[in-house]
A and B are shown apart, each in its own frame.
Chain A
């Protein structure tokens, strides 16, 4: 079955630490890839997306993600996290239907 896997359920970091959240998918063919974020009390919003071209995509707030086709991965990274990055992060794949991973809760300690 097609699926989206996020490896980390809850990540706790101190401010200024580097972040990498894993995402793997099992869809074949062409896919569009997304990372969404949900800050406390807010609704889901787009962080970044990959449709084609440069596999390293940059999003808002200093986030980036790299699409590695051979590994079916789209990991999210940020070199130095801030307390305001505390949120839940969802990887999503669109192959004519948008499907999500289980989400990773990120807690950044000040």
Chain B
């Protein structure tokens, strides 16, 4: 069974450009999470999808970030326009929905390292 996959693994863009990160969760997982880690700091929650709906997007830093999960399968996270402080590793994770809650183990992708210069 394929795990969570993220693309690209590394992206270097200039300030002001647009970047779109993609996450393919494990097939059948309703929950999909996006996280960001700035070097040396915590893994910060960005948002949580349940199928195609945004369950919680309280961690999204500002309106330059847009996440979508059309059809409840893969998800994209677009940063437009990118700023220097957006640099970091963006992780995606997925988990199955059990008993009507999201309280299960999450499986992580390898992350996308975004560098804004």
Contact = CB atoms under 8 A, between A and B. Distances in A.
Interface string B74-117: 00000000000000000101010000011111111111000000
Contacts of A49: 105
Contact of B45 (A31, A46, A100, A103): A100
A43 B111 contact: yes
Between B55, B95, B101, B105, the greatest number of chain A beta carbons within 10 A of the residue's beta carbon is seen for B105
Given A43-B111, A95-B103, A103 B43 contact: yes
A96 B103 contact: yes
Nearest to A43: B110
A43 B90 CA distance: 12
5 contacts: A49-B105, A94-B103, A97-B45, A102-B41, A103-B42
Interface string A22-43: 0000000011101010000011
A58 interface: no
